[in-house]
Amino acid sequence: MNIQKFLLIFSLLLGFGSVIDNFFPIPLLLFEYFLIIISLKQFGLRGYSAKYIVIFVVCIIISALMTSTSLTRYGSFFIRPIIAVAILSVFSYKYDEIKHYFYKNLRLIAWLSLVNFILVTIASPLFITQTSDSGYTVHTIGYVFNYIVTTERLGIEFTRNQGLFWEPGVLEILMNTLVFIELFEYKSKIKKTILPAIIVLTTASTSGYVVLFILFILYYLQRLHTANGLKKRFVIVSSSISSLLSLFPLVKEEVNYKFTTGVGSANKRQFDMIMGTKIAIDNPIFGIGPNKETYMGLSNSYNVYVGDDVTYDARANTNLFVSLFCYYGIPMALLFLIALYKQQIFINRKIYYLIIVVGLFSEPIAFVDLYFVWIMSGAYKSAQTSNSPYKTKFVQTTT
């Protein structure tokens, strides 16, 4: 294993909403850039990479001009596509290798998250309270093991598992991605998903539970579709009933909780969706520009009511997709979402896109280097060969 490539992917994952990124964003970014510099042998713009970058720049300039927004607020669109190309160049555009290191890092994060849940359950006094410059407060051990929220399900009180990340919803996205890779990319046996599935359940994330349940349904349907013989089909059906029935009560309880005891969280998501949609509808072509202050100012002019358990003070939107349409307008938002869908890292693009779409409906994580790596991979279709040293299935089952 190449340790530099492993650490490079790890730094990208830390940049995807980790507690470390919240407290030390500049050192983390410099660490990522250092790894790129020492690993990069040749910077290569392959396929339509140059066109992608030009399109980004043109969209930025048009958006800035039409919304009277400073170009400095579009820094991600200027810098991150180029950084993404540099990262792809480090791996020589070998997407199976990128996926391999991504997978290895996710397995590490899964084990760290299991340790995190054990520590917060039996050794919470070891955690100290820290507050970042942005006002984010967390109980932590070295910014690696973290917790914030305690909750209750089925009469059991426990602390929601967030692992390395600032919120449990981020951890569930990555753990469901690990389940996805095991089942649909690497065609592993279902026992390989036990660890990440357990981690998803410890997050007490409604979207995480629903996505995990859907992934298992799709997995069993796919196996049933390709199974030969009545006996094998019977075994698959029996196994699916056993697995899904064990998960269903937990999913049902989580959904019920979200609309009863935890209705405040559901109402907050609903409020953000409605408020952002109203602003987007009134600014459909160019949006309002990537300016949170402008958004919060405009939100005061709309009357949105979703319930009593919501703070109606002006705040930033937590729904990534609504924010895209609100800030950048319909054309640019669609362009971003289509580009993300066209990524070439994962073979089963529709299923992976489901994980991202559902997860990011409640997580405002958009413009980070990790996603621009996926987006820029869509500009060049790498030819993967059957003699690859990495664990990859090359038969595309779902596009």
Taking a C-beta distance cutoff of 8 angstroms, is the pair 171, 141 a contact?
no
Whole-number average pLDDT of the chain = 89
Mean pLDDT, residues 74-100: 93
Angle at 19 between CA 106 and CA 31, to 5 degrees: 75
Q: How confident is the model at residue 397 (pLDDT cuts 50, 70, 90)?
A: very low
| Res 396: pLDDT | 40
| Res 146: pLDDT | 97
Q: Tens of pLDDT along 234-273?
A: 989 999 998 999 999 999 888 888 777 666 677 777 888 8
Rounded-to-integer distance, Cα 202 and Cα 371, Å: 25
Number of H helices, E strands in the chain: 15, 5
In this structure, is the dihedral angle defined by the CA atoms of residues 275, 365, 48 and 66, taken in order, positive or negative?
positive
Q: Tens of pLDDT along 306-351?
A: 776 666 666 777 788 888 899 999 999 999 889 999 999 999 999 9
| Res 84: pLDDT | 96
Whether residue 384 is predicted with pLDDT greater than 70 in this model: the reply is no
Q: Which residues pair with 140 in a beta bridge?
A: 128, 146
Name the percent of the chain lying above pLDDT 70. Answer: 92
Mean pLDDT, residues 270-288: 89
| Res 259: pLDDT | 73
Whether residue 119 is predicted with pLDDT greater than 80 in this model: the reply is yes
Whether residue 97 is predicted with pLDDT greater than 50 in this model: the reply is yes
Rounded-to-integer distance, Cα 61 and Cα 41, Å: 32
Taking a C-beta distance cutoff of 8 angstroms, is the pair 164, 113 a contact?
yes
Highest mean predicted confidence (pLDDT) among 84-93, 238-247, 268-277, 351-360: 84-93
Residue 306 has phi, psi (to 5 degrees) of -125, -5
Rounded-to-integer distance, Cα 347 and Cα 384, Å: 11
Q: Which residues contact 57 (CB under 8 A, 6 or more apart)?
A: 77, 78
Angle at 160 between CA 158 and CA 163, to 5 degrees: 130
Q: Tens of pLDDT along 150-198?
A: 888 878 889 999 999 999 999 999 999 999 999 999 999 999 999 999 9
Q: How confident is the model at residue 15 (pLDDT cuts 50, 70, 90)?
A: very high
Whether the full predicted model's pTM is greater than 0.85, yes or no, is yes
| Res 78: pLDDT | 85
Rounded-to-integer distance, Cα 98 and Cα 94, Å: 7
Taking a C-beta distance cutoff of 8 angstroms, is the pair 53, 82 a contact?
yes
Mean pLDDT, residues 357-375: 82
Which of 109-123, 203-217, 285-299 is predicted least confidently? 285-299
Burial class (CB in 10 A: 0-12, 13-18, 19+), 388: middle
